[in-house]
């Protein structure tokens, strides 16, 4: 069965290739840790120093499977997280930039377990025990010394809203310095 997946993976890529459009990279690269235990932490947001008016949306999806036990800790995570983030930035009186980020988070059992199992089988990757769990089932539980520390629930909700302000300190052609 492996050769079928090896043939279809590139074909699926080629199907979506014409739909992609390339935008110039203006950096820095935005990377966000969507690991459930850390998603609530106020993660740093890197951005360019120049001020600008903008409005954007971003969509991220991740699948997490971690079932680990140590002497003190038990971590059971099997879920998918989708984040739709709305970002608005506005320059006010050419003095500073006001920013607002509103993330909508969807935590659930997801839909990718079957695909990921087939992907791992096709390339011979280990599944780390994923096949021992029901497909697309939500699990979020962290224990320390047997005591429940985190018991997550599936659902939809607003994440941590971020309000930002940026003030330029110096600007010249090709160089910007600001404090946020």
pLDDT at position 111 over 70: yes
Provide the CA 50 distance to its chain's centre, in angstroms.
25
Q: Which residue has the higher pLDDT, 147 or 128?
A: 147
Q: Tokens at residue 57, please?
A: 């949306």
Q: Cα-atom radius of gyration of the chain, to the nearest Å? A: 21
Contact between 60 and 71 (Cβ < 8 Å): no
Domain that holds residue 108: 2-179
Return all residues near 32 (Cβ < 8 A) that are at least 6 apart: 43, 60, 83
- As a whole number of angstroms, the distance between CA 44 and CA 127 comes to 32
Instruction: List residues bridging with 175 in a β-sheet.
Output: 172
DSSP, collapsed to helix, strand or coil, labels residue 127 as: coil
pLDDT, mean of residues 56-68? 90
Q: State the total domains in the chain.
A: 1
Return all residues near 36 (Cβ < 8 A) that are at least 6 apart: 64, 77, 79, 81, 107, 140, 152
pTM confidence score: 0.73
Whole-number pLDDT of residue 87: 94
């Amino acid at each position: 069965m492996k050769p079928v997946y090896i043939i279809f993976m590139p074909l699926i890529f080629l199907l979506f290739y014409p739909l992609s459009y390339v935008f110039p990279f203006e950096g820095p690269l935005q990377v966000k840790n969507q690991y459930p235990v850390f998603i609530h932490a106020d993660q740093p947001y890197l951005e360019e120093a120049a001020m600008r008016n903008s409005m954007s949306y971003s969509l991220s999806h991740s699948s997490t499977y971690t079932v680990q036990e140590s002497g003190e800790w038990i971590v059971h995570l099997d879920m998918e997280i989708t984040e739709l983030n709305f970002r608005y930035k506005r320059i006010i009186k050419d003095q500073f930039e006001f920013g607002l980020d509103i993330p909508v988070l969807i935590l659930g059992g997801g839909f990718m377990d079957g695909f990921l199992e087939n992907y791992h089988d096709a390339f011979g990757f280990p599944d780390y025990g994923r096949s021992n769990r029901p497909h697309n089932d939500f699990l979020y539980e962290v224990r320390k010394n047997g005591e429940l520390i985190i018991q997550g629930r599936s659902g939809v909700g607003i994440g941590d809203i971020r309000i930002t302000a940026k003030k330029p300190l110096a600007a010249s052609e090709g160089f910007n310095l600001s404090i946020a």
